[in-house]
Amino acid sequence: MNKKLLKSFLVAMLVFVLALAGCSKDTSKPADDTGKKDDSKKTEEKAEDGVYNIKDFSNVKTNQGEAIDGGTFTYGLVSDTPFEGTLNFNFYSGNPDSQVLQFFDEGFLTWDANYVYTNDGAATYEKDAEVSQKALASLSADEAKTVADKGVTITFKIRDNVNWHDGKPVTAEDWEFAHEVIGNKAYDGPRYGSDFTNIVGMDEFHEGKADKISGIEVVDEKTLKITYKESTPSLLTGSIWTYPLAKHIFGNMPIDKISSSPEVRQHPIGFGPFKVESIVPGESVTYVRNDDYWRGKPKLDKVVLKVINPNVIVQALEKGEVDTVDSFPVDQYPANAKMANVEFLGMVDRAYSYMGFKLGSWDKEKGEIKPNPEGKMSDVNLRRAMWHAVDNDTVGKKFYHGLRWNATTLIPPSHPEFHDDSNQGRAYDPELAKKILDEAGYKDVDGDGIREDKNGKPLVINFAAMSGGETAEPLAKYYIQAWQQVGLKVELLDGRLQEFNSFYERVGKNGDDDPAIDVYQGAWTVGIDVDPRGLYGRDAIYNFSRYASEENDAIMSDGVSQAAFDVDYRKEVYNKWQKLMVDEVPVFPTLYRAALVPVNNRVLNYAIGDGTGVYLNELAVNQEAPNPAK
């Protein structure tokens, strides 16, 4: 790696992540908390050699003192741009909006540390002994037999005390309505995909051939039945849509107007522990306690969420201006590890950074990928060489102190059962990169040190990267220079970094792919389900690389087949898929990441990650004012 270039990096990089699906932070089982005292000792030992291990952190806050009655908790959303403000789980796409949503809304089902849905949430579920005859009646004889053999009907019961913030009960019709909105052709959000097309009658409804989704049955106000065509191993680990939509508010609204409506943008509603009191668009949200919350009256009076620029995050924490933040830049941790007024929580994040290559476009009419085999980045050898040209291992070790590390495959270690740690991806090897390019016909024709394309014409690759933090630009420049060292001319799109919201619009979150982009640097917060179809499937709008192949289709389909109920078999399938992605390189992962979250010492009952059994209504403080650092 170019050491001079690395030394030019500054102190912080914050790459915002785009979430696949709205995920509540609720979990149901206690985490393995090794204790604050032991963790602190281990962390100090690791600090001596400059490298930290995320395993040495707890993800559950140590309580100090007794909770007071009421109080205000202040949450910092770390961002150099405003949050978009699409404040409904059925429509939002950016992770910043999900941070806003978590305090006032949630899904019906929670999950345990193994990402399996539990019956501890606002609704319970039970698999029916037989597939619904009512759902089968809408099918042809052959289709009915297939669904009877492979499908499943699940009965959901919403708890009686689950109410919207306006006092109206959350009903089975609200849940059905969410499915109808997402399944409608006019829907302008990112959710429609394989999780929905697996529901009996969804295809017909989506095409306008049916007025109702035949596989969804409202039994009574609080009971819903959904019949799925296939009972897949993913169904109970993330493939059920658990977020209702208030029909009494949105039922008469044109579907393509909902996401931009005041009821989503300025006056959002949910059934979570806090209610939205006021919003300063893109900047802050003030929440008040929801006394009618189904888990019980929250301990706090208020929560205030406000955007904090990454350049001042440390000062805001030290002064007690915020009690915590959504994520702390890990490269700033060593200098602040002993911040006196906070406790650092940590976990392996369900996220990874990546480079994506534009290999096609989105066909809005068909709702699927349209590959372009003649595109600039269509040669797999060019993509392989660009991966070999960058040294992510050194970036992670030297500048993230072991708290970000070289990524190898597209299933991160946050899913250890399916992450193939024997697959080493593509190692940093610039000489191999040069050889691959030579053999593929990308040669320096005119002797200027820059390779032309295979036809001897100038090759300029446009690179889209996001702003965010002090080292976002130096890091982008590093990648550009690393590629230049193997003879490739790569230039920043428009000569600058892109703001978060416009970046994802141009990359294609609405299906409008900017043809000027050839390669882009993004990041994903992945869902609890390991099934990659929502990010890399042919019908996934989030498949921003626009890669599709029959082999990819077949492997991903096999991953949710009946045979995949055998966990060992499913591991083999996803190992095969991880290998395919390393071979084909439609995208390549750059860094896996730890999530570090500093929490003010006055805060009680706070946790991050999955499997903690700590819920936001239990959040409390032991004194009115935050503790400043002394």
- Enter the tokens of residue 223: 């009971």
Percent with pLDDT over 90 in the chain: 82
Percent with pLDDT over 70 in the chain: 92
Query: What is the DSSP code (8-state) at residue 333?
Result: H
Quick one: average pLDDT of 45-53? Answer: 59
pLDDT (0 to 100) of residue 4 = 37
Q: Is the pLDDT of residue 40 over 60?
A: no
Q: Are 508 and 515 in contact (CB under 8 A)?
A: no
Q: 112 pLDDT band (50/70/90 cuts)?
A: confident
pLDDT (0 to 100) of residue 414 = 92
Quick one: average pLDDT of 588-613? Answer: 94
Q: Comparing 20 with 499, which gets the higher pLDDT?
A: 499
Q: 28 pLDDT band (50/70/90 cuts)?
A: very low
pLDDT (0 to 100) of residue 13 = 30
Query: What digits encode the pLDDT tens for the residues 347-401?
Result: 999 999 999 999 999 999 999 999 999 999 999 999 999 999 999 998 888 778 8
Name the residue among 237, 195, 204, 206 with its Cα closest to residue 135.
Answer: 204
Spatial distance between the Cα atoms of 205 and 404, rounded to a whole number of angstroms: 44
User: Which CATH architecture fits 123-258?
Assistant: Alpha-Beta Complex (3.90)
Spatial distance between the Cα atoms of 190 and 213, rounded to a whole number of angstroms: 19
Quick one: average pLDDT of 222-229? Answer: 98
DSSP β-bridge partners for residue 166: none
Coil vs helix vs strand at 480: helix
pLDDT (0 to 100) of residue 56 = 87
Q: Is the pLDDT of residue 233 over 50?
A: yes
Q: Is the pLDDT of residue 475 over 70?
A: yes
CATH for 350-593, options being 3.40.50.720, 1.10.10.10, 3.40.50.1000, 3.10.105.10: 3.10.105.10
The set of residues, in sequence order, having a beta carbon less than 8 Å from that of 262 and lying 6+ positions away, is: none
pLDDT (0 to 100) of residue 33 = 23
According to the 3-state scheme, what is the secondary structure of 540-603? CCCCCCCCCCHHHHHHHHHCCCHHHHCHHHHHHHHHHHHHHHHHHCCEEEEEEEEEEEEEECCE
Q: 39 pLDDT band (50/70/90 cuts)?
A: very low
The set of residues, in sequence order, having a beta carbon less than 8 Å from that of 306 and lying 6+ positions away, is: 74, 75, 76, 77, 283, 284, 285, 322
Q: Which helix (H) or strand (E) holds 430?
A: helix 430-440
Strands (E), 310-440: 324-325, 342-357, 360-363, 368-371, 404-406
Query: What digits encode the pLDDT tens for the residues 563-599?
Result: 999 999 999 999 999 999 999 999 999 999 999 999 9
Q: For residue 488, what are the CA distances in angstroms to 161, 515, 585?
A: 61, 19, 17
Query: What digits encode the pLDDT tens for the residues 541-553?
Result: 999 999 999 999 9
Spatial distance between the Cα atoms of 477 and 293, rounded to a whole number of angstroms: 49
Specify burial of residue 209 (Cβ count, 10 A radius: 0-12, 13-18, 19+). exposed
Q: At what angle do helices 380-388 and 567-584 cross, to 10 degrees?
A: 90
Spatial distance between the Cα atoms of 136 and 128, rounded to a whole number of angstroms: 14
Domain positions in the chain are 123-258, 350-593
Quick one: average pLDDT of 25-39? Answer: 25
- Enter the tokens of residue 334: 């060593």
pLDDT (0 to 100) of residue 62 = 96
Q: For residue 7, what are the CA distances in angstroms to 150, 260, 332, 387, 475?
A: 57, 45, 15, 21, 11
Mean pLDDT of the chain: 90
Q: Are 612 and 31 in contact (CB under 8 A)?
A: yes
Query: What is the DSSP code (8-state) at residue 232?
Result: -
Q: For residue 70, what are the CA distances in angstroms to 1, 64, 291, 479?
A: 53, 16, 12, 49
Query: What digits encode the pLDDT tens for the residues 429-474?
Result: 999 999 999 999 999 999 999 999 999 999 999 999 999 766 788 8
Query: What digits encode the pLDDT tens for the residues 267-323?
Result: 999 999 999 999 999 999 999 999 999 999 999 999 999 999 988 999 999 999 999
